[in-house]
Amino acid sequence: MRSLLIVPALLAALAAPVHAAAEAQAAATPPSALPAITVSTVAPRALRDRVIVSGLVGAVEEVRVAPLIEGQPIESLLADVGDKVQAGQTLAILSKSTLELQRSQFVASLASARATIAQAEAQMLEARASADEAQRVNERTAALVKQGASSQAAADQAASNAIAATARVTVATQSLEAARAQVELVQAQLANLELSLERTEVKAPVAGTITQRNAVVGAIASGAGQPMFTLIRDGALELNADVSEIDLTRLAAGQKVSMVAVGSTEPLTGTVRLVEPAIDQTTRLGRARITIDDAGMIRQGMFLDAEILVAERNALAVPVTAVGASAEGASVMVVRDGTVSRVRVETGIRDGGWVEILSGLTEGDTIVTKAGAFVRDGDRINPVPSDAN
């Protein structure tokens, strides 16, 4: 057993001088004989953190115009797709013939109700006069009975007549109130009909651009089914951009956006108006609504590619190729006095071919430009500056 333990020790003792000699030889090797490796210098650089999205252009607010009365034929159409209309502008006119006939009937009913009021007022005046006369007769008869100049029967008859006359006054008063109520009812019906006549003119509730017209002359206007017209309020359009759930939390209202339409070279600008809080469970995509500054250059339904600027700052940066990845995390090969050493780093923004370094390096450090080059921790190299610096 002791002999087995001695053999590894002897081998290690014999190898130590060999390694030492190799290291001494490497240290004595001239730079021209070492491998030439491209290196870069860590320096500040303007970096922009962007999220790439795409989507379709849609209306910020879509307004659907339906008739406020039903059952009337469409008589004429005054607006078409593409027209820009103002709030309150007439878009279509419905037939008024049936409603005008009803108005004539209500006008006649109103006149009849007012005539009934006049009759009721006359009846009430007559009833009050009769009641007053009956009351005076009753009082005189009662006085005569006390004097013995009249019979009790005559007094009872006078009292009954006075009560009956008072009752007729009450009936006449109620008839007058009923006639006045009838007038108010007819007036309300007439006002409702006048409102219906005004609503035969279908008007735009807001200013905007007409994108759809379903109304047809001769068709019966109805609030059910498709609307007569569809408007884009104020012609305002926005991009409904699909965003991956990883990037969704990085977006916020107010961020600047650069957009371009398919097949176009003219850039468009805008801002994030709203980031929807929900994610589609099927596609796993969220949605950001982006206001477009110059909506006159686009149309609803167009497809746009966009870049949302999340952050922009000057920071230490290295080429993307200089950063290696492993189970321990990101690392960079730093060159000091011609010797390579691996350094752990924390990365941030990736912009084009550059990566932000949050920690692990300082300005002026020399690094291997390509981390996948044939160098390892502890190798000596002949550093060659990169043109990218």
HSE value, Cβ hemisphere, 13 Å, CA-based, for 175: 18
Q: Does one domain contain both 242 and 284?
A: yes
Q: Does one domain contain both 224 and 350?
A: no
Specify the higher pLDDT residue, 155 or 69.
69
Q: Does one domain contain both 306 and 344?
A: no
Report the DSSP beta bridge partners of residue 47.
313
Q: Does one domain contain both 157 and 298?
A: no
**Final residue belonging to a domain, choices 283, 312, 341:** 312
Which residues lie below 8 Å from residue 11, measured CB to CB, with a gap of 6+?
Answer: none
Q: Does one domain contain both 320 and 308?
A: no
Q: pTM here?
A: 0.63
In a domain, 146, yes or no: yes
In this predicted structure, the answer to whether residue 24 has a pLDDT above a threshold of 60 is no
The torsion of the CA quartet 302, 305, 311, 317, rounded to 10 degrees, works out to -170
Query: What local confidence, expressed as pLDDT, does residue 273 receive?
Result: 94
Q: Does one domain contain both 351 and 319?
A: yes
In a domain, 111, yes or no: yes
Q: Does one domain contain both 104 and 187?
A: yes
Domain containing 301 — which CATH number?
Answer: 2.40.30.170
Name the pLDDT band for 84 (thresholds 50, 70, 90): very high
Q: Does one domain contain both 242 and 125?
A: no
How confident is the model over 58-75, as a mean pLDDT? Answer: 91
In a domain, 142, yes or no: yes
For 293-347, how does the pLDDT look when each residue is reduced to its tens digit (9 = 90+)?
887 778 889 999 999 999 889 999 999 988 988 888 888 989 988 888 889 999 9
Q: Does one domain contain both 136 and 260?
A: no
- What type of residue sits at position 190? L
In this predicted structure, the answer to whether residue 2 has a pLDDT above a threshold of 80 is no
* Residue range(s) defining the domain that contains residue 128: 97-198
